[in-house]
Amino acid sequence: MDIASEGPNAGATEQRAVITGGSRGIGFAVARRLVANGAKVLLVARDPATLEAAVGILNQIRPGSAAGLPCRVDGQERTARLIVDNALRQWGRVNLLLNAAGGATVASVLDAPWDVWRSDFEVKFWGYLSLLRAVMPAFREAGGGVAVNILGVAGKDPSVRLPIASAINGALRNVTKVLADVGAADAIRIVNVNPGATETDLLPDMARGTARLLGRDPAVVLAEMRANAPFGRLPAADDIAECVLFLMSSHASFITGTSIDVDEGVHRGPA
């Protein structure tokens, strides 16, 4: 697949990407495919050891294709600028962004501590928004670009078990629509991807959170999540990555300002 921005001469080997949450899960699955297609990527993640291992794997696939920046996405403008500036120093330009940091805390809307609300909003809402704002000038300089945000179906189908994620993802759906409108004249596309339950290392955490909330056995909850998957299995990170790569490619040139559900149809609202 030709991973391309909207610039007239953009091709797979010219892509330069920033990927937050890039050392594992969906972020790493996307990074691996981009590198295999000839792109260069800056991975951003909190844990230096995990990040170093991820960068090493990518550079085995294509030497010199990956760099890492140990950093917590905290929603601060200075942090977002640091990340984008680092990528510009590494690669000379940036024309792809994947916002994939953070997860979804299982909690009660009445009992979830305020510090959990604040922390989740810092990483995901303010983190995503700050990166989008910081990268827009680099996209313009590159002649166009594509940003993909990993959200979740709770943003359109609010969940009593995911009240914080429901609020964050709902807010991001709206502000990224506005950003897509602003960026359209500069060949900048912004698209959200909404996974449902996915086979990453965050899935057991969600099962444990659900079990605590319901007073159940985490192993049983996890088994039920897998057994109840409409297609007979939950999607893997690679399945979500395939959708992201399509959205980053020239094949999706007219897709912007919207959200794509990759959830086996589990959301209950209209399509």
Whether the predicted model's global pTM rises above the 0.85 cut: yes
- Strand partners for 145: 188
Residue type at 50 in one-letter notation: T
Quick one: pLDDT at residue 209? 85
Record the tokens describing residue 182, joined without a space: 């602003």
Cβ pair 249, 37 in contact under 8 A: no
| pLDDT score of 27 | 97
Give dist(CA 58, CA 41) in Å, integer: 9
Contacts of 231 (CB under 8 A, 6+ apart): 264
Nearest CA among 172, 129, 196 for reference residue 258: 172
Domains of the chain by residue range? 12-196+236-261, 200-234
**Phi/psi at 180 (nearest 5 deg)?**
-65, -40
pLDDT score recorded for residue 81: 97
Distances in Å between the Cα of 6 and the Cα atoms of 143, 239, 249, 271 are: 7, 24, 9, 27
Distance CA 270, CA 263 (A): 13
CATH of 12-196+236-261 among 3.40.50.2000, 3.40.50.720, 3.40.80.10, 3.40.50.2300: 3.40.50.720
Q: Maximum CA pair distance of the chain?
A: 56
Locate 9 and state its tokens.
């001469």
Average pLDDT by stretches of 10, the chain with 271 residues: 42 84 96 97 97 98 97 94 97 97 89 93 96 98 97 86 92 95 97 91 85 89 88 93 96 96 81 59
